[in-house]
Amino acid sequence: MPSKEFNKRGYMKKLLLTATALLALSATAKEFDKDASLGSYKPKWIGEVPKGYEKYIHASEEDMQWWKDAKFGVFVHWDPSCLSKAEISWNRHGERPGHSYNPKGIPREEYDTNYKNFNPVNFDADEWVTMVKNAGAKYIVFTSKHHGGFSMWDTQYSDYDIMNTPFKRDICGELAAACQKQGIKIMWYFSQPDWKHPDYWTENHDKFIQHVHNQLEELTTKYGRIDGIWFDGLGKNGGTWDTPKLLKKLREATPGIVVNNRMHSRKDNWGDFDTPEQQVGAYRVDYPWESCISMGGGNWSWLGRNYAVLSYRTSLRTLISCAGGGGNLLLNTGPRPDGKINPPEAANYLKMGEWLKQYGESVYATQGGPYMPGPWGVSTHKDKTVYLHVMQDLNHQALVLPSLPHSVEAAEMLTGGEVEFKQMNGQLVLNLKGELGTSVSKVVKLTLSGKIPALKGIKTAPEHSLSHDAEVKASSENNGKYAAGNLVGKGNSHFKAGAHHKSAWAPRHSDKKPWVEIDLGQDKLISEVLITEYKSQCREFILTAKKNNGEEVELHRGSYLEEFSSKFEPFKARYLKLQVLKYEHGSVQVKKFDIYGK
């Protein structure tokens, strides 16, 4: 056992290391102050909506209806940065005015001159939009300009644009035309921050605001009907962009346009929908939301290497989970430098489209609920119909849910098999039998005697799982950010918030057979287990349970972990252990390990 006595030599070493780190931090801060050119700019602060601008803050219900019904859009992050095989904008070395400083990344001299070699000869807007349409998506959001400042259209307000590349073709113009021809809605992602513009976040910032307004006027008037703007203001208050005046211009010039909420402080709910990032949004049916999630293993743009790509199963389940929570999914891809969509990602989109052709009635033009998400799955509804998306392995057990506001008159399996149901004692009991078809989601269609009224949601899971605040240990941890404690910490209850949280447990890269174990403190009765990966990296795993007396049993052995949800005949155990035997593409990351029972 280590000595607890004061270690003078160790203390002095730590003191020296701390001093060195502070000096390094000070040097970095000085470099930031020197390079960031902050000038005297202080953001103007807007609290309440200025008088006379109230009607421009939100689109009408009628204008929002197409977006609510669509449920599924394709996000595309693409500009010359793909030549550096690095994350768009964020891997640019140096200052990020008004935000932070990046001491690493691609040298600015390289990043900012990539456009001179950008020549995506295989780009075909019609091919892209055909893929989007075949995927079952109803709209596309394309990065017209990211934080790095490069404009992917022919703009008269900057020379740092697509027309000064060897390609010399207006990407945005071609995409807009292809979308309009094929009946797909087009929205522009537009970053108000521009880390390369000389006036941004300086004493000349007011001139930069006019530059933003000018470019957005171009994007919304130059290419025919544009359906929306997806702002990305990095959390800045609307005063930074003169947002009220900007929204007035956009809505007057393009009636019916929809916009997200990233042009003002999120808490004020300006704009038409919220935008949770890299996570399924919380169950919410009183304000529209859209989860933007990257299919490419957490990165937005092309990295030029064999990175983990979300599987078709995970991608489709994510869409279903968003719809069941009351939101949309904006599923991202980062095209290659030659203009082609990454083949594994394109294949996933197309498989999603095949599923949606058969079962899209349970997704499109539905509302989330009435059941809140649970380990079993999610629900959607429209008129007198409720769709249950059962994503749990029931292991031949009944699915038991609270009764609905109206009686169930009929039930059928859309995805194959048969369903029997009973309504008794305030419960709806369903037994799914036979060949149940798709493993992604077993869809049960319920026909009710009346329409579902406006509800906050019917709870189907306890506020906390048994693993909440339990003890946890692991074979290793990558760093503090990926500690095993993330799996049991406060606030990570999936079905309390209805959200997948970004926090996760990840082992060290050198840990070839990592494991994590939940200790419930004593033997408890367990009936359900839900384990979710952040990325699709696990290729073989074992789940075991152990009683307080040491008796151990293997509960499940599988290949792809992704989202493992299973119902069991109730059993007693104190410890549940996940052992990962094989994984690919770096290190496995587990973001949920929830245990349900008594």
Q: Name the maximum alpha-carbon separation found in the chain.
A: 78
Quick one: pLDDT at residue 14? 40
How many residues in total does the chain contain?
598
Residue 394 pairs in a beta bridge with none
The residue written with tokens 């390094």 in the block is 24
- Nearest CA to 74 out of 332, 313, 300, 263 is that of 332
Backbone angles phi, psi at 303, to 5 degrees: -105, -5
The contacts of residue 14 (CB under 8 Å, 6+ apart) are none
pTM of this structure = 0.90
Whole-angstrom CA distances from 8 to 15, 20, 304 are 10, 18, 49
Of the pLDDT bands very low, low, confident and very high (cuts 50, 70, 90), residue 40 is low
Q: Does the pLDDT of residue 495 top 70, yes or no?
A: no
* Beta strand spans in 470-583 (E): 471-474, 515-533, 538-546, 552-558, 563-583
Backbone angles phi, psi at 12, to 5 degrees: -65, -35
Name the token pair of 516: 């994590």
- Nearest CA to 125 out of 295, 292, 340 is that of 340
Quick one: pLDDT at residue 8? 35
Residue 55 burial (C-beta neighbours within 10 Å; 0-12, 13-18, 19+): exposed
State the angle between helix axes of 125-134 and 171-182 in degrees (0 to 180), rounded to the nearest 10: 40
**Strand order from edge to edge, sheet including 328-333:** 258-259, 228-231, 185-190, 139-145, 72-76, 328-333, 290-294
Question: What mean pLDDT comes out for the span 141-152?
Answer: 98
Name the token pair of 68: 């609510």
Quick one: pLDDT at residue 22? 39
| Cβ 484 vs Cβ 516: under 8 Å | yes
* Beta strand spans in 226-281 (E): 228-231, 258-259
Quick one: pLDDT at residue 520? 97
Quick one: pLDDT at residue 11? 36
Of the pLDDT bands very low, low, confident and very high (cuts 50, 70, 90), residue 307 is confident
Residue 554 pairs in a beta bridge with 544
The contacts of residue 33 (CB under 8 Å, 6+ apart) are none
Ordered alpha helix ranges (H), 155-286: 171-182, 205-221, 243-253
pLDDT tens for each residue of 49-68 = 999 999 999 999 999 999 99
Quick one: pLDDT at residue 437? 67
Percent of the chain having pLDDT more than 70?
Answer: 91
Name the token pair of 466: 């048994």
Backbone angles phi, psi at 569, to 5 degrees: -60, 130
pLDDT tens for each residue of 433-462 = 987 766 799 999 999 999 998 878 999 999
DSSP-assigned letter for residue 498: T
Q: How many other C-beta atoms can be found within 10 angstroms of the C-beta atom of residue 52?
A: 9
pLDDT tens for each residue of 282-304 = 999 999 999 999 998 778 999 98
3-state secondary structure of 580: strand
Question: What mean pLDDT comes out for the span 344-373?
Answer: 97
- Nearest CA to 404 out of 433, 435, 381 is that of 381
Quick one: pLDDT at residue 253? 94
Quick one: pLDDT at residue 29? 35
Question: What mean pLDDT comes out for the span 368-377?
Answer: 96
CA 477/CA 508 separation, integer angstroms: 6
Q: Does the pLDDT of residue 33 top 90, yes or no?
A: no
Domains of the chain: 54-360 (3.20.20.80), 369-448 (2.60.40), 471-597 (2.60.120.260)
Q: Which residue has the higher pLDDT, 41 or 1?
A: 41
Q: Does the pLDDT of residue 232 top 70, yes or no?
A: yes
CA 479/CA 177 separation, integer angstroms: 47
| Cβ 289 vs Cβ 499: under 8 Å | no
Q: Does the pLDDT of residue 249 top 60, yes or no?
A: yes
CA 281/CA 291 separation, integer angstroms: 6
Q: Does the pLDDT of residue 563 top 80, yes or no?
A: yes
Q: Does the pLDDT of residue 2 top 70, yes or no?
A: no
Residue 407 burial (C-beta neighbours within 10 Å; 0-12, 13-18, 19+): exposed
